[in-house]
A and B are shown apart, each in its own frame.
Chain A
Amino acid sequence: MTLEEIAAGEQLMDIEREPSVPENMGFVFLGLIWPSPEALQAQLATAQGDKDLLKGTMDWIGAVLKSSWVAPDLRTRLRAARAIVSGQDAFLARYALNQVKIQIVVTRYHVHVVIKPPGGVNPLPALHDYLQVDSPEDPSPWSGEPWETANIAGLAFGYQMRGDRLSWRESVNYLTNSRAVKFSAEKIATPPKGSGPPKTGSAPTVEAESHWFAAKR
């Protein structure tokens, strides 16, 4: 295993800032743009020392990203910063593992992972290669079908056509330029086996998601 740093200032999707898109498409680019070292330093938050938040973040990364792609020193790499990615409070870390560049941004309600392998990427196979979407309990391989795609600001955006989602994997969408792919998932806990969905649902506002570290529900 070779663990390396990603150069400061490098954007894995080769985009420097979130494109201007219609209101209903703004979510597509959340968690994509990596902040400058100066911005990160300026926005570091005391949440770094919040054991519960850090543990919860580690748990979610461990649930979403295959363990073989989790840096052994991830806990110490994670930084908590206010209003840092897409204007949202987040825990974030990135590294290159065996030449695959991996960028992780965890916000209050989402996990965003950008993957950039050396030879380009096909999003749906990559979903199985890098994320823990497959479960030993699945009677057949999980596909997430049906998928729908759209071209947004020159990038391919893929999403699942579902009503209710009963786990994070059912919420995964991707954004790709064929060289890198961003997977975004909602923090939806998988219900205990055999049980139905929770009674309530919610749509956190941008404000609610942004101010994670001073959050009140």
Chain B
Amino acid sequence: MALAKRSSRVPRVRSGGGHHAALVTAWRVHVTGIEFIDDYLMEANGRNRSNTDPDRQHYTNIPQDFEGWGRGMRLTGWDWAGTDNLERAACYHRQRPIHMKVRLRSSLPAPTARTFTLTVTPTVDGSTTLLTAGTATVNWPAGSQEEIVPLIATGGTLPNEVSRYHFQLTWSVHGITPGGTINRTNHKIFGIYEDPLDPAVSSASGSPQSPIDGLTKQRLDKLTVIIGGANRRFPTPSPSDLDRLIWKLCKTINDSGPPHFYGGRAEAVQYGGFGSSFPSIDLVDQWVMWLEGHKIPPDAGENPRPWNVGACISYAQLMKTMLAAAGINSRRAWVIPKTTLLPGGVTVSISANDVVNVDSYDSSREQTRTIPYGGLNYTATVKLIDNPYPNGSPSWENFEACLYYGGKLVPGAIATSRYPASILSGHVGFPDALAVLRWWHSVSHGSFHRFMAWVASSPSKAFFDRDGNYYASPYSIPVHMRLPVP
């Protein structure tokens, strides 16, 4: 009350008001800035068109509009500065409280020092119970018209989820007159599983990303809508929930278009061609595969396709990159074809571990034999023969790339409707690499049924059947002479 009395001595008209003088009846504060703190640094959605805020051009040699899937400027400073901007989001670790720095401004310089309580009352997706109110004591010096509250935290913590939330924050003050509600602000907040991981590192434990890079609203929106649907929330209280989350993401990527498939790529999206001489997209930006993409020839002589095409391992990397952004570890894997029957009639046993490379492609683990024919020694490797190109050239697949997590595998870039029913109903992927190999071998392209053969590239292209007989074309190998599948 004393403060209220003293406030009556404050001039009733703002100085310099001129013709627009406003009547001031009391000393009031309101929120002019909110910065989410102890969160993960986010970046603006990037277009790769310029270095003018908020955009950043990380790939000057790729003359394409990334349509928001790129990385823009780093979002530091005030996340809210007077008006709601739901395109500027913040990102927190699940099960952590929301911490904020708040800027308050008063209607007039405070005639005397005063102390009051600032309260933030959150509503999360309409719920008033997920998080509770938090308070901070504000000591306002005399003469000041603006103060920063260095920390105010909500009560409680974010749920154990990977989600996007709509926050409505009601700001109120108590201990001064007039008290009560001073602002209502709206925000988009993401909750992720763990600290973001480096999407380039494939290992059993993953590697924390340092510095954190590549979190944008457009990207996290995509992740949360895939796993959480319209309400954008995916609970993760148990490890089996993570399996379901990963499966849901992989399924959507495989069943969507974009991404666009093209076999002539490895992990990274490349512009205009394959190999070290063509621009590569960093794996943290694998999200560009979601672009529809302007069409160019992916390699010299090829028909135009979206510039951001990917092969099965690129799809697996997209899965991995998206999961890594939410702090969920997964690994790259390549299932390689092998047979149980060697030329000469020797049989060998093949285990699930024998047919998969995890983390990196190791060509020394391919099944290779030297087969003599016509005065030359051919170095032949087991491949999965695919249908020929339109010009008649034989083609084959070197591997089936997968995302690997917890011993389970999800092949990349093939619609899950083509998976065995038992795999689809399990909602977690293939149980092991042999199951992938058997299924992969069984997938037909139209009327063409794929099969395994020994394929030599050195000293020249040549094909050999189960007994080591030579063929100039694999399609001449009789069905009964194809290689047996483990």
The answer to whether residues A191 and B263 also contact, given A22-B374, A22-B375 and a CB cut-off of 8 A, is no
The answer to whether residues A23 and B266 also contact, given A150-B375, A159-B458, A161-B458 and a CB cut-off of 8 A, is no
Are A201 and B274 in contact, CB atoms less than 8 angstroms apart? no
B448 an interface residue at 8 Å Cβ cutoff? no
A88 an interface residue at 8 Å Cβ cutoff? no
B372, chain A: closest CB distance, angstroms = 10
Q: Which residues of A contact B334 (CB under 8 A)?
A: 196
B383 an interface residue at 8 Å Cβ cutoff? yes
Q: Which residues of A contact B457 (CB under 8 A)?
A: 162-165, 171, 201
Q: How far is the CA of A24 from the CA of B380 in the complex (A)?
A: 15
Are A216 and B390 in contact, CB atoms less than 8 angstroms apart? yes
Q: How far is the CA of A199 from the CA of B395 in the complex (A)?
A: 11
Are A198 and B455 in contact, CB atoms less than 8 angstroms apart? no
A107, chain B: closest CB distance, angstroms = 12
A211, chain B: closest CB distance, angstroms = 8
B282, chain A: closest CB distance, angstroms = 11
Are A59 and B277 in contact, CB atoms less than 8 angstroms apart? yes
Pick the contact of B377: A161, A194, A208 (CB < 8 A).
Answer: A161
A202 an interface residue at 8 Å Cβ cutoff? yes
B433 an interface residue at 8 Å Cβ cutoff? no
Q: Which residues of B contact A194 (CB under 8 A)?
A: 200, 360
The answer to whether residues A201 and B361 also contact, given A24-B373, A25-B374, A162-B379 and a CB cut-off of 8 A, is no
Residue of B302, B311, B363, B462 with most partner-chain A CB within 10 A: B363
Are B401 and A203 in contact, CB atoms less than 8 angstroms apart? no
Q: Which residues of A contact B455 (CB under 8 A)?
A: 201, 203
The answer to whether residues A198 and B274 also contact, given A52-B300, A208-B393 and a CB cut-off of 8 A, is yes
Are B312 and A196 in contact, CB atoms less than 8 angstroms apart? no
A142 an interface residue at 8 Å Cβ cutoff? no
B304, chain A: closest CB distance, angstroms = 12
B4 an interface residue at 8 Å Cβ cutoff? no
Q: Which residues of B contact A166 (CB under 8 A)?
A: 363
Are B377 and A202 in contact, CB atoms less than 8 angstroms apart? no
Are A195 and B389 in contact, CB atoms less than 8 angstroms apart? no
Contact count band on B: 35 or more
The answer to whether residues A203 and B394 also contact, given A159-B458, A163-B379 and a CB cut-off of 8 A, is yes
Pick the contact of B398: A148, A152, A201, A207 (CB < 8 A).
Answer: A201
The answer to whether residues A199 and B300 also contact, given A164-B366, A191-B274, A192-B275 and a CB cut-off of 8 A, is no
Q: How far is the CA of A202 from the CA of B200 in the complex (A)?
A: 28
In the complex, per-residue mask of A14-28: 1 if CB is within 8 Å of any chain B CB, else 0: 000000001111011
Are A197 and B374 in contact, CB atoms less than 8 angstroms apart? no
B265 an interface residue at 8 Å Cβ cutoff? yes
Pick the contact of A199: B270, B303, B390, B399 (CB < 8 A).
Answer: B399
Q: How far is the CA of A25 from the CA of B303 in the complex (A)?
A: 32
Q: Which residues of B contact A202 (CB under 8 A)?
A: 389, 393-396
B301 an interface residue at 8 Å Cβ cutoff? yes
A196, chain B: closest CB distance, angstroms = 3
Report B305-343 residues with CB < 8 Å from chain A CB.
311-313, 334
Are B391 and A217 in contact, CB atoms less than 8 angstroms apart? yes
Are B459 and A173 in contact, CB atoms less than 8 angstroms apart? yes
In the complex, which residue of chain A has the Cβ closest to the Cβ of B361? A196
Are B391 and A189 in contact, CB atoms less than 8 angstroms apart? no
Pick the contact of A208: B280, B376, B392 (CB < 8 A).
Answer: B392
Are A199 and B392 in contact, CB atoms less than 8 angstroms apart? no
Q: Which residues of B contact A165 (CB under 8 A)?
A: 457-458
In the complex, which residue of chain A has the Cβ closest to the Cβ of B274? A189
B198 an interface residue at 8 Å Cβ cutoff? no
Q: Which residues of A contact B459 (CB under 8 A)?
A: 27-28, 148, 157, 159-160, 173
A63 an interface residue at 8 Å Cβ cutoff? yes
The answer to whether residues A150 and B376 also contact, given A198-B266, A200-B397 and a CB cut-off of 8 A, is yes
Q: How far is the CA of A205 from the CA of B390 in the complex (A)?
A: 11
Q: How far is the CA of A24 from the CA of B394 in the complex (A)?
A: 16
The answer to whether residues A160 and B460 also contact, given A166-B363, A197-B363, A203-B393 and a CB cut-off of 8 A, is no
Q: How far is the CA of A101 from the CA of B468 in the complex (A)?
A: 42
A9 an interface residue at 8 Å Cβ cutoff? no
Are A192 and B311 in contact, CB atoms less than 8 angstroms apart? no
Are B460 and A162 in contact, CB atoms less than 8 angstroms apart? no
Are A164 and B273 in contact, CB atoms less than 8 angstroms apart? no
Residue of A159, A163, A191, A192 with most partner-chain B CB within 10 A: A163
B195 an interface residue at 8 Å Cβ cutoff? no
Q: Which residues of B contact A161 (CB under 8 A)?
A: 370, 377, 379, 458
Residue of B263, B266, B368, B459 with most partner-chain A CB within 10 A: B459
Q: Which residues of B contact A192 (CB under 8 A)?
A: 266, 268, 270, 275-276, 280
B145, chain A: closest CB distance, angstroms = 56
Pick the contact of B267: A24, A157, A195 (CB < 8 A).
Answer: A195
Are A27 and B460 in contact, CB atoms less than 8 angstroms apart? yes
Pick the contact of B363: A63, A164, A198 (CB < 8 A).
Answer: A164
In the complex, which residue of chain A has the Cβ closest to the Cβ of B263? A200
Residue of B276, B383, B470 with most partner-chain A CB within 10 A: B276
A103, chain B: closest CB distance, angstroms = 21
Report B396-416 residues with CB < 8 Å from chain A CB.
396-399, 401
A8 an interface residue at 8 Å Cβ cutoff? no
B254, chain A: closest CB distance, angstroms = 15
Q: Nearest 8 A-B pairs (CB), nearest first? A: A189-B275, A196-B361, A203-B461, A159-B459, A200-B263, A195-B266, A163-B381, A199-B311
Provide a sorted-by-A list of 18 A–B residue pairs whose CB atoms are within 8 angstroms: A25-B375, A148-B459, A159-B458, A163-B363, A163-B366, A163-B368, A163-B457, A164-B366, A165-B457, A189-B276, A196-B399, A198-B264, A199-B397, A200-B311, A200-B386, A201-B397, A207-B391, A215-B301
Which residues does A use to contact B, with CB under 8 Å? 22-25, 27-28, 52-53, 56, 59, 63, 108, 148, 150, 152, 157, 159-166, 171, 173, 189-205, 207-208, 215-217
Which residues does B use to contact A, with CB under 8 Å? 200, 263-268, 270, 273-278, 280, 300-303, 311-313, 334, 360-361, 363, 366, 368, 370, 373-377, 379-381, 383, 386, 389-399, 401, 455, 457-463, 470, 472-473
